[in-house]
């Protein structure tokens, strides 16, 4: 028997969206002199352990939530001092004059942060306000009431054997019930995906489109460090038909955040985002910042980049999707943290009003209404065509997006559409193989030594959290047609084809998983289903 | 019977550390901390003894900064009844901790103290032994099995040659080895309950203990990088290399 507990509001996921919602609820209750019980669960071992971002943060939403964040000691210290956008060729680079850049590429007033640290700080603010914050617990199952409304979630069982039977240390999960449940799982939420299907939240909208971002944190020699410098690149090592780009953000304390994002609508199954990131660092325009430095950390995470036209319906009976779980991200600016915070606040306000009116487990229609009249909607509407333009290739896409933004200020009378990423892969035989250079152990590394720096761990004795709907498909389809692309797109080396006497077999090294969700997105027949492993496992990012 | 369990807050064993560029120590700022794994085993053992009706109360103690409260809450989520934080910002060395624990033993009069055999940060492997000496109690280190009966405890120890079983008169100090037990998962209901269990805070000077460090750290350095290995063609070549290159045989 699972124990259960009741709350006014339950929040699943302790990223910027979930934490902002929790804080806003408690603030409103304080202002009105009422009490709201708020519980937040997070699958990472601590708040921030699963957060991986760039990140250049637009402080607009945070300033609305906690106006005196500076005095409160928020770890947001390095103001952007310079923006550089560079088109890379294989050996050189051409900087785009800032005057030609659309507004969305300007970062005046923004800050370079370690988003995991910001989340950790938000977690402390939430706890101080009385939110019950429980890291180490994953929402494993959505619970429904008799009327079909969401009534909460159950945390996962601990101590199951590989076969799913209770082992010697078995502990059943717990049911958390609430009047409203907010899902803030970030990009490609595993429960969010189920809710979208159950309540048909994607009806009439485009499929979501994604990128995979691979990121490293470097400590560099002082003379190479330019605090506040933001570098974005397009072009090499991507060919002009593949959407992708890199970033180098100079933080405080000689730290540099460097990353590469590949659009998951790439077509060549031989492409390996991990190795693109590795060779990216060898470009003269990039290596000049990190040479002589030391890599401190590594990780990867998918990004929901579809924009407004890919956003699902936000509410359903008993709850709402917020943050990247609902695709609130401005792909042209690769910024989602401010949108996550704002969406969390708007949902919290709607939930608070509903609780005040003694409502429960109905649709929070006030949330999408408030969103439509918010600055966030205006911002996302303006850049909605960015990702679809980019499907036309880098040069054409940039030109069209530039015209859209600079001549029309984003108010063009058309909206372009997205298609699902998993449908994009071509047969391997039709595509050119890519010869990636061997890692040098100095600037470039192999997968395993990289994963080591994510601090990821999973108990081996538990059911595999990467489920195959059909165990034959990895060989009969993925290997036969696409040369098993999961071997390359997984940034953690989880998927391996091993040759055995009986023939090739897919081996899943689930312990290495960094919870990026790429396999759940890109698997060509959607045969891989990512579910939560035991709570408290996965990467332990330290300020990524 | 009361059992006292000292629990240390250390860097989470999954998290990689980095030596500070100036060699003064390792960089722990903002890193994830957790309970020393051997101490988790100690708490688990004490709680099992309580569940078996042998012990009546399990008291967890942590010495260090205010954040050690989290470590105490974690011990209470496993099943400790209450916590005592000896709060100080001073860097604590094993002797200082042993003296603090002695002061608490004088006050609390436990029959058994179960420590971890070592903490995974400094790997000193000293605190339990020092405490036993200061108290004049018998000690059983590296325990892989503990039975308590009446006035004595029987402990199986992991030693170089195998296993050794000894009997000690109570009160005594026991330190845990890895194979003593496998700690349970703290459940959400138990974590919720742990938040409400009593937690007292005392300062070292209230216990009359001088915790000033006796040892100074001169330098911390990373172990030298291992150079890449070579593949040898046959045993003859291996022997030759061991003799002439490595000069180890
Ligand atoms: C490489 C990269 C670069 C980026 N650069 C920037 C940038 O420069 N600026 C910017 O503003 N944004 C950037 N973003 C986007 C930004 O990181 C996200 O928009 C933001 O983190 C979204 O916040 P969120 O709270 O919605 O989700 P997340 O930050 O993803 O947080 C979700 C949390 O929920 C937890 N969770 C998920 N499922 C469960 C479950 N079932 N049970 C319990 N817990 C669960 C997760 O562990 C996680 O902690 C970048 C993203 C990436 C990947
Ligand atoms: C909190 C904690 C407490 C621990 N306590 C104890 C304890 O009390 N007692 C104990 O015994 N251990 C303990 N361990 C485990 C211990 O620290 C090491 O993990 C263990 O000794 C590693 O030994 P290994 O050879 O199995 O693994 P590895 O660390 O993987 O191997 C060590 C070396 O062996 C070589 N090697 C490994 N596999 C092969 C191979 N197939 N062929 C050739 N060479 C190989 C490698 O060169 C490597 O450098 C503890 C670990 C932790 C995290
Ligand atoms: S297994 Fe899937 S979710 Fe895990 S790291 Fe690999 S691609 Fe990402």
Q: Does A120 touch chain B (CB under 8 A)?
A: yes
pLDDT at B228: 77
Average confidence (pLDDT) over A443-463: 97
Please provide the CATH number assigned to the domain covering A4-67+116-207+308-382. 3.50.50.60
Interchain pair B188, A453: CB under 8 A: no
Mutate which of B20, B26, B30, B33 to test chain A, going by most A C-beta atoms within 10 A? B30
Smallest Cα distance from A174 to chain B, Å: 7
Of residues B12, B34, B188, nearest to A134 (C-beta): B188
Quote the mean pLDDT of chain A: 95
Task: Say if CB A118 and CB A57 are below 8 A apart.
Answer: yes
Q: Is A50 in the pocket of ligand 1 (CB under 6 A)?
A: yes
Tokens 């061991």: give the residue: B242
Total count of domains within chain B: 1
Average confidence (pLDDT) over A86-113: 88
Query: Closest ligand 1 atom, CA of A214?
Result: 1
Domain boundaries, chain A: 4-67+116-207+308-382, 424-430+446-530
The CA dihedral of A119, A120, A123, A125, to the nearest 10 degrees, is -100
Tokens 């996550």: give the residue: A340
Task: Say if CB A260 and CB A300 are below 8 A apart.
Answer: no
Q: Which of A456, A474, A468 is nearest to A515 (CA)?
A: A456
Angstrom distance (rounded) from CA A305 to CA A324: 9
Where do runs of H (alpha helix) occur along chain B? 37-51, 68-78, 94-108, 127-135, 188-194, 235-244
Over the range B44-66, which residues count as b (16 or more CB within 10 Å of their CB) and which as e? bbbbbbbeeebbeebbbbbbbee
CA A25 / ligand 3 centre spacing (Å):
33
Q: How many residues does chain A have?
A: 544
Angstrom distance (rounded) from CA A411 to CA A413: 6
Cβ-Cβ contacts under 8 Å for A173 (sequence gap 6 or more): A2, A140, A141, A154, A155, A156, A157, A158, B188
Q: Which of A534, A541, A532, A528 is nearest to A183 (CA)?
A: A532
Angstrom distance (rounded) from CA B228 to CA A161: 38
Q: What is the pLDDT of residues A467-487, one digit of tens each?
A: 999 999 999 999 999 999 999
Peptide bond into B198 cis (omega under 30): no
pLDDT confidence bin for B146, thresholds 50/70/90:
very high
Assess whether pLDDT exceeds 80 at residue A406.
no
Both tokens of B59, joined, read 């008291």
Q: Which of A269, A310, A319 is nearest to A422 (CA)?
A: A269
Average confidence (pLDDT) over B134-144: 98
Q: What is the pLDDT of residues A116-159, one digit of tens each?
A: 999 999 999 999 999 999 999 999 999 999 999 999 999 999 99
Q: How many residues does chain B have?
A: 249
- DSSP conformational letter for A478: I
Mutate which of A120, A221, A540 to test chain B, going by most B C-beta atoms within 10 A? A540
Cβ-Cβ contacts under 8 Å for A94 (sequence gap 6 or more): A86, A87
Tokens 């502990």: give the residue: A171
Assess whether pLDDT exceeds 80 at residue A314.
yes
Q: Does B245 touch chain A (CB under 8 A)?
A: no
- Report the range of poorest mean pLDDT among A244-248, A347-351, A391-395, A418-422: A391-395
Assess whether pLDDT exceeds 90 at residue B110.
yes
Q: Is A530 in the pocket of ligand 3 (CB under 6 A)?
A: yes
Average confidence (pLDDT) over A388-392: 75
Q: What is the pLDDT of residues B213-247, one digit of tens each?
A: 999 999 999 888 877 788 899 999 999 999 998 88
The protein residue with its alpha carbon nearest to ligand 3, atom 1, reads A513
Q: What is the pLDDT of residues B150-184, one digit of tens each?
A: 899 999 999 999 999 999 999 999 999 999 999 99
Measured CA to CA in angstroms, residue A58 lies from A76, B28, B153 at distances of: 11, 29, 62
Q: What is the pLDDT of residues A482-535, one digit of tens each?
A: 999 999 999 999 999 999 999 999 999 999 999 999 999 999 999 999 999 999
Tokens 């019930």: give the residue: A177
Angstrom distance (rounded) from CA A451 to CA B77: 31
Measured CA to CA in angstroms, residue A220 lies from A154, A217, A233, B152 at distances of: 44, 10, 20, 59
Interchain pair B12, A5: CB under 8 A: no
Tokens 């035991």: give the residue: A534
Average confidence (pLDDT) over A12-20: 98
Average confidence (pLDDT) over A63-67: 98
CA B14 / ligand 2 centre spacing (Å):
14
pLDDT at A407: 66
Q: In this structure, what CATH number is given to the domain that contains residue B68?
A: 3.40.50.620
Peptide bond into A489 cis (omega under 30): no
Assess whether pLDDT exceeds 80 at residue A408.
no
Q: Which of A22, A68, A75, A10 is nearest to A340 (CA)?
A: A22
Assess whether pLDDT exceeds 90 at residue B92.
yes
Q: What angle do CA A18, A19, A23 make, to 5 degrees?
A: 120
Both tokens of A332, joined, read 């042209």
Where do runs of H (alpha helix) occur along A403-456? 408, 447-452
Q: Does B222 touch chain A (CB under 8 A)?
A: no
Both tokens of A75, joined, read 């770890």
Tokens 């750290």: give the residue: B217
Surface-to-core class of residue B224, CB atoms within 10 Å of its CB (0-12 exposed, 13-18 middle, 19+ buried): exposed
Smallest Cα distance from A169 to chain B, Å: 6
Q: Which of A303, A314, A300 is nearest to A192 (CA)?
A: A314
pLDDT at A1: 77
What domain range is B13 assigned to?
2-245
Other C-beta atoms closer than 10 Å to the C-beta of A335 total 22
- DSSP conformational letter for A538: B
Assess whether pLDDT exceeds 80 at residue A304.
yes
User: Any idea which ligand is nearest the CA of A510?
Assistant: 3
Interchain pair B15, A542: CB under 8 A: yes
pLDDT at A399: 67
Beta bridge partners of residue B57, listed in sequence order = B2
Task: Say if CB A418 and CB A206 are below 8 A apart.
Answer: yes
Q: Is B193 in the pocket of ligand 2 (CB under 6 A)?
A: no
- DSSP conformational letter for A330: B
pLDDT at A388: 78
Measured CA to CA in angstroms, residue B233 lies from A71, B8, B230, B236, B240 at distances of: 66, 49, 10, 8, 11
Both tokens of B15, joined, read 């998290």
Q: Is B37 in the pocket of ligand 2 (CB under 6 A)?
A: yes
Tokens 């040898």: give the residue: B232
The protein residue with its alpha carbon nearest to ligand 1, atom 29, reads A15
Q: Is B120 in the pocket of ligand 2 (CB under 6 A)?
A: yes
Structural Rg of chain B based on CA atoms: 21
Sign of dihedral through CA atoms A321, A327, A333, A337?
positive
Task: Say if CB A420 and CB A413 are below 8 A apart.
Answer: no
Task: Say if CB A11 and CB A182 are below 8 A apart.
Answer: yes
Q: Which of A332, A340, A416 is nearest to A371 (CA)?
A: A340
Q: What is the pLDDT of residues B61-84, one digit of tens each?
A: 999 999 999 999 999 999 999 999
CA A488 / ligand 3 centre spacing (Å):
11
CA B65 / ligand 2 centre spacing (Å):
32
Surface-to-core class of residue A124, CB atoms within 10 Å of its CB (0-12 exposed, 13-18 middle, 19+ buried): middle
The protein residue with its alpha carbon nearest to ligand 1, atom 52, reads A53
Beta bridge partners of residue A319, listed in sequence order = A181, A316
Q: At what angle do helices A16-32 and A115-128 cross, to 10 degrees?
A: 30
Surface-to-core class of residue A6, CB atoms within 10 Å of its CB (0-12 exposed, 13-18 middle, 19+ buried): middle
SS3 state of residue B239: helix
Angstrom distance (rounded) from CA A338 to CA A212: 20
- Class for domain A424-430+446-530, per CATH? alpha beta
SS3 state of residue A84: strand
Q: Does B52 touch chain A (CB under 8 A)?
A: no
Assess whether pLDDT exceeds 80 at residue A2.
yes
Q: Does B210 touch chain A (CB under 8 A)?
A: no
Cβ-Cβ contacts under 8 Å for A314 (sequence gap 6 or more): A201, A320, A321, A322, A326, A347, A367, A368, A371
Angstrom distance (rounded) from CA B121 to CA B98: 17
Cβ-Cβ contacts under 8 Å for B145 (sequence gap 6 or more): B155, B156, B165, B180
Angstrom distance (rounded) from CA A77 to CA A110: 10
Q: Where are the beta strands (DSSP E) in A99-183?
A: 111-112, 132-135, 139-144, 150-155, 158-160, 166-171, 175-183
Interchain pair B182, A117: CB under 8 A: no
ipTM, interface predicted TM-score of the complex: 0.90
Measured CA to CA in angstroms, residue A206 lies from A244, A412, A416 at distances of: 21, 19, 10
Assess whether pLDDT exceeds 90 at residue A97.
no
CA B188 / ligand 3 centre spacing (Å):
27
Q: Is B17 in the pocket of ligand 2 (CB under 6 A)?
A: no
Angstrom distance (rounded) from CA A338 to CA A330: 9
Q: Where are the beta strands (DSSP E) in A360-470?
A: 466-468
């Amino acid at each position: 028997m699972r124990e259960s507990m009741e709350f006014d509001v339950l929040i699943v996921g302790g990223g910027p969206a979930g934490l902002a919602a929790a804080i806003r609820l408690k603030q409103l209750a304080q202002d009105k002199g009422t009490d709201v019980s708020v519980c937040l669960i997070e699958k990472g071992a601590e708040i921030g352990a699963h957060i991986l971002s760039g990140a250049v943060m637009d402080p607009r939403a945070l300033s609305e939530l906690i106006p005196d964040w500076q005095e409160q000691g928020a770890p947001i210290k390095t103001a952007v001092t310079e923006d550089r956008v560079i088109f890379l060729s294989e050996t050189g680079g051409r900087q785009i004059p800032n005057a030609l850049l659309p507004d969305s590429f300007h970062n005046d007033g923004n800050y370079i942060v370690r988003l995991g640290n910001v989340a950790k700080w938000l977690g402390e603010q939430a706890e101080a306000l009385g939110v019950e914050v429980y890291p180490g617990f994953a929402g494993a199952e959505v619970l429904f009431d008799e009327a079909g409304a969401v009534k909460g979630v159950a945390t996962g069982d601990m101590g199951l054997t590989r076969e799913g039977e209770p082992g010697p240390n078995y502990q059943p999960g717990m049911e958390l019930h609430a009047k409203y449940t907010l899902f803030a799982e970030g990009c490609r939420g595993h429960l969010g995906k189920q809710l979208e299907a159950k309540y048909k939240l994607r009806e009439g909208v485009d499929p979501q489109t994604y990128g995979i971002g691979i990121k490293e944190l470097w400590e560099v020699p002082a003379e190479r460090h330019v605090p506040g410098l933001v570098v974005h690149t397009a072009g090499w090592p991507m060919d002009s038909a593949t959407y992708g780009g890199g970033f180098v953000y100079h933080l405080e304390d000689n730290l540099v955040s460097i990353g590469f994002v590949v659009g998951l609508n790439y077509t060549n199954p031989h492409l390996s985002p991990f190795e693109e990131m590795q060779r990216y660092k060898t470009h003269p325009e990039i290596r000049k910042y990190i040479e002589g430095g030391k890599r401190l950390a590594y990780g990867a995470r998918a990004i929901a980049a579809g924009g407004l036209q890919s956003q699902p319906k936000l509410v359903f009976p008993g709850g709402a999707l917020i943050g990247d779980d609902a695709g609130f991200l401005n792909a042209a600016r690769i910024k989602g943290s401010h949108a996550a915070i704002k969406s969390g606040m708007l949902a919290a306000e709607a939930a608070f009003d509903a609780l005040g009116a003694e409502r429960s487990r109905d649709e929070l229609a006030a949330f999408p209404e408030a969103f439509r009249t918010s600055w966030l909607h205006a911002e996302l509407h303006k850049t909605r065509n960015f990702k679809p333009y980019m499907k036309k290739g880098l040069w054409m896409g940039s030109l069209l997006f530039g015209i859209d933004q600079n001549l029309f200020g984003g108010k063009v009378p058309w909206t372009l559409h997205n298609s699902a990423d998993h449908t994009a892969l071509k047969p391997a035989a039709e595509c050119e193989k890519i010869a990636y250079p061997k890692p040098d152990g100095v600037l470039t590394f192999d997968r395993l030594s990289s994963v080591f720096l994510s601090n990821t761990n999973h108990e081996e004795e538990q059911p595999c959290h990467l489920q195959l709907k059909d165990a034959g498909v990895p060989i009969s389809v993925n290997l036969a047609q696409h040369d098993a692309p999961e071997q390359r797109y997984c940034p953690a080396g989880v998927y391996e084809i091993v040759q055995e006497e009986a023939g090739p077999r897919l081996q899943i090294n689930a312990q290495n998983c960094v919870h990026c969700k790429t396999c759940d997105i890109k698997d060509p027949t959607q045969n891989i289903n990512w579910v939560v492993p035991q709570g408290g496992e996965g990467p332990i990012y330290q300020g990524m | 019977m009361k059992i006292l369990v000292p629990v240390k807050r250390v860097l989470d064993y999954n998290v990689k550390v980095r030596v500070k560029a100036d060699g003064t120590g390792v960089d722990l700022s903002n890193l994830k901390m957790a309970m020393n794994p051997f101490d988790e085993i100690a708490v688990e053992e004490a709680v099992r003894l309580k569940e078996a009706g042998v012990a009546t109360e399990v008291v967890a103690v942590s010495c260090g900064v205010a954040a050690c409260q989290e470590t105490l809450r974690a011990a209470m989520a496993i099943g400790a009844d209450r916590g005592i934080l000896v709060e100080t910002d001073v860097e604590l060395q094993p002797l200082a901790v042993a003296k603090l624990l002695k002061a608490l033993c004088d006050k609390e009069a436990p029959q058994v103290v179960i420590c971890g055999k070592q903490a995974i940060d400094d790997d000193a492997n000293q605190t339990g032994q020092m405490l036993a000496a200061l108290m004049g109690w018998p000690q059983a280190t590296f325990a892989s099995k503990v039975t308590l009966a009446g006035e004595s405890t029987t402990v199986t120890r992991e030693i170089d040659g195998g296993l050794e079983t000894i009997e000690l008169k109570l009160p005594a100090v026991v330190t845990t080895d890895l194979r003593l037990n496998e700690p349970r998962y703290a459940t959400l209901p138990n974590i919720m309950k742990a938040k409400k269990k009593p937690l007292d805070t005392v300062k070292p000077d209230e216990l009359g203990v001088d915790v000033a460090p006796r040892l100074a750290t001169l330098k911390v350095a990373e172990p030298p990088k291992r150079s890449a290995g070579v593949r040898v063609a046959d045993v003859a070549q291996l022997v030759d290399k061991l003799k002439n290159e490595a000069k180890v045989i």
